[in-house]
Amino acid sequence: MSHGNEQIFNPAERVAKISHCSSMEQYKQMYDKSLKDPEAFWGDIAKNFHFEQNVTGKFMDYNFDISKGKIFIRWMEGAKTNICYNCLDRHVLAGKGDQVAFYWEGNDPADAEVVTYGELLKEVCRVANVLKAKGVAKGDRVAIYMPMIKELVVAMLAVARIGAVHSIVFGGYSADSLADRMLDAQASVLITADAVWRGAKLIALKEIADDALKVCQAKNVKVKMSLVVQHMKNVTAPQASSNGTANGNPSKKTHFDDKGNFKVGWNSGLDVWWHEAVKDVSSDCPPEWMDTEDPLFMLYTSGSTGKPKGVLHTVGGYMLYAATTFKYTFDYHPDDVYFCTADIGWITGHTYVTYGPMLNNATSVLFEGVPTYPHIGRFWEIIKKYKVSKFYTAPTAIRALMKFGDEPVKKYDISSLSVLGSVGEPINPEAWMWYYQIVGDSNVSIADTFWQTETGGHVITPLPGATPTKPGSACFPFFGVEVALLDDEGKEVKGEGEGYLVFRRPWPGIMRTVYGNHERFETTYFKKFPGFYCTGDGARRDKDGYIWVTGRIDDMLNVSGHLLSTAQVESALVEHPAVAESAVVARPHAVKGECLYCYVTLAEGNDFTEKLIVELRNKVRTKIGAFATPDYMQLAPGLPKTRSGKIMRRVLRKVAVGDRDFGDISTLADPSIVEVLFQHRPKEGKV
């Protein structure tokens, strides 16, 4: 990423004028207070929420130093609350029941629906009662595998209402990935839908979920119910295309009957239709009052060993942090219409589609589709339709849309926009400038928000009414977050400089453990630098104190804003009988940010054929999901290893981009392998 653009952009006037935090002085004052007196700072914020019981013990207590004992983080000891109550009942009781919570916008522009806070509360209570009747109780894990529909929001809030723990698996994951996650969580219920159109593609969710359930059954994990939303009946299928196939989609033939109805397999005894289950069920269900440190949800993120980690968040701290970051980072006001394009299956959707907005009684757009369907101006069309004022998306989407030029944006009046957010990876200054000038008409504030599944909410971000921004920099820490940069020896880099990005103390929204494996939590995040939470990212601090996150410094890669570990992909590849060994690295990609470049060493007697390449790509798709499909597959007669057998990945990254500037390779057991690998590079453009 270039660090050239250090031009400064002041907050948009119209944002600063009404902002919750409207100057750097105010930011500094609030920030200082949040560090000096966390109890007073967060205690004041907590007063805006309903706590059934107030704090009885310490407001904040923690240990970040593994050399002193177990790592732990606790906020608001003794207090009791319920996040669903705070998202719904609190607003309905305040007379806001008729306010729109979500404008649902379907994959097809013909499909749209409006849902209020009052309606959501009733539906949430019904589903909560359905779950309770099935014996789901406090602490039980419920897996959710759903499209971006209102029932997904209802499902997660219903689970939270009864004190169960939701584990949402993104609808783009494969059956194997879903099964792995359900097994790790020992989920007793699954909530899914029949299927969904994503652009012109059909995703047969229930079919995939059924495959996952078979795996669970084979491993003796008892799932009591699969609750299925009948979604296909209510949506418009993609229009017929010129190639003559029904709806332009081959799956139309296999998944639909003659009358055009979507076909589903049915396991009586396990499967229950959502609409039948909620019929005649009471829309009254008292919330379970939870300890602030009771688990709220787990969400799996890639780990460097290849086995995904169940990041666990708890009720109280997450609630305060989701609400507060949403309010300040987007400078939310009651007349805003907010639109976050992330899928709820990722942390961005958890915190900034569901919890953050709903805790603030906000009105949002919930979008089922993709940015380029049925046309490349879909985002802008939606923004115009609902007069969206705050918009939150990912650099990969911005880069993909930038390719079509300015015209598709200019076609729509989107002057309602005043704050534009970015998340998922470092945003390159070119994309930042396009976002600012073309989408924002140079009359907006841009918020490049740095955070992680683990952090629960934004930890480094500009505030749109206060912070002068530099394109490509996430700027300054959020309230309560204390940033440090460390060198390899763990020595702090003060002032200008570069190092490991770490945090010195907990903020309310930080994860509490890895589900079922606290030791993994400690080793992953706290072992390298005792006393600090280690993000795994590198960062630079410039002369003005701005933080520039430079990307991962471990074996993780970021494809279109989705974190993957190289180990996870390698273990999928070596499952193929033709593969003896594999090594995967990230290669820069103009739209995705990074893509997968895979080296495979074949077992004796195999040829590196087109057919094998297809099989290998499919292997990764079925083990992980379509979003992880490799872009490059290369034969590696051998891998560059040190004498101790460690793969020198930096060499592989160089070969991937055709760069011969390897640096020192004298520690390789066989330095000649580098030239061999070079000769086996696939031709550009060929996968």
Write down the least CB distance from residue 130 to ligand WT7, Å: 31
DSSP-H helix ranges across 47-162 = 83-87, 89-91, 117-133, 150-161
**Contact residue for ligand WT7 among 157, 209, 563, 656 (CB under 6 A):** 563
User: Judged by CB under 6 A, does residue 320 bind ligand WT7?
Assistant: no
User: Pick from 174, 177, 301, 560: which binds ligand WT7 (CB under 6 A)?
Assistant: 301
* Phi, psi for 192 (deg, rounded to 5): -145, -170
User: Encoding tokens for residue 333?
Assistant: 């006001």
**Please, what is the minimum distance in Å from the beta carbon of residue 144 to ligand WT7?**
18
Q: How far is the CB of 519 from ligand WT7 (least distance, A)?
A: 21
Q: Can you tell me which of 345, 356, 426, 464 binds ligand WT7, judged by CB under 6 A?
A: 426
**Tokens, residue 37:** 């007196």
* Residues contacting residue 276 through CB under 8 Å, at least 6 positions apart: none
Using CB under 6 A as the binding criterion, the count of chain residues that bind ligand WT7 stands at 23
Sole binder of ligand WT7 in the list 123, 180, 537, 570 (CB under 6 A): 537
Distance CA 221, CA 297 (A): 20
- Least Å from the CB of residue 513 to ligand WT7: 16
Q: Which is nearer to ligand WT7, 426 or 471 (CB)?
A: 426
Q: How far is the CB of 670 from ligand WT7 (least distance, A)?
A: 33
State the DSSP code for 327: H
Kindly identify the residues of this chain, within the stretch 237-276, that bind ligand WT7 according to CB under 6 A: none
Stretch that binds ligand WT7, among 166-174, 270-278, 433-441, 550-558 (CB under 6 A): 550-558
- Interface with ligand WT7 by CB under 6 A: which range of 8-16, 35-43, 443-451, 621-629? 443-451
Q: Does 450 bind ligand WT7 (CB under 6 A)?
A: yes
| Interaction between residue 347 and ligand WT7 (CB under 6 A) | yes
Q: How far is the CB of 193 from ligand WT7 (least distance, A)?
A: 24
What is the helix (H) or strand (E) element at residue 190, kind and residue range? strand 189-193
Q: Does 474 bind ligand WT7 (CB under 6 A)?
A: yes
The site map against ligand WT7 for 478-517 (x = CB under 6 A) is ----------------------------------------
User: Judged by CB under 6 A, does residue 424 bind ligand WT7?
Assistant: yes
Name the minimum Å distance from CB 584 to ligand WT7: 17
Give one DSSP letter per residue of 243-308, joined into a string. T-SGGG-THHHHHB-TTSPBP----TTTEEEHHHHHTT--S--PPPPEETTSEEEEEEE--TTSSP
Give the Cα-Cα-Cα angle 336, 340, 345 (nearest 5 degrees).
140
Q: Which is nearer to ligand WT7, 167 or 301 (CB)?
A: 301
The distance of closest approach from Cβ of residue 538 to ligand WT7 in the complex, given in angstroms and rounded to an integer, is: 9
Out of 314, 453, 565, 582, the only residue in the binding site for ligand WT7 (CB under 6 A) is 453
Which 3 state secondary structure label does DSSP give 592? Answer: coil
CB of 632 to ligand WT7, least distance (A): 21
User: 68-107: which residues touch ligand WT7 (CB under 6 A)?
Assistant: none
Instruction: Please tell me whether residue 448 binds ligand WT7 under the rule CB under 6 A.
Output: yes
- Enumerate residues 6+ apart whose C-beta is below 8 A from 657: 587, 588
Cβ-closest position to ligand WT7 = 453
> Between residues 85 and 515, which has the closer beta carbon with respect to ligand WT7?
515
Q: Indicate whether 452 belongs to the interface with ligand WT7 (CB under 6 A).
A: yes
Residues 414 and 408: their CA atoms lie apart, in Å, by 12
Q: How many helices (H) and strands (E) does the chain have?
A: 23, 30
- Which stretches does DSSP call E strand in 451-559? 483-486, 497-503, 513-514, 533-541, 547-552, 556-559
> What's the per-residue H, E or C state across 442-473?
CCCEEEEEECCHHHCCCCECCCCCCCCECCCC
Locate 509 and state its tokens. Answer: 């929204």
Residue 233 corresponds to which tokens in the numbers above? 């009946």
- Output the DSSP codes for 360-389: TT-EEEEE-S-TTSSSTTHHHHHHHHHT--
Residues that bind ligand WT7 (CB under 6 A): 301, 347-348, 423-426, 448-453, 474, 535-537, 549, 551-552, 558, 561, 563
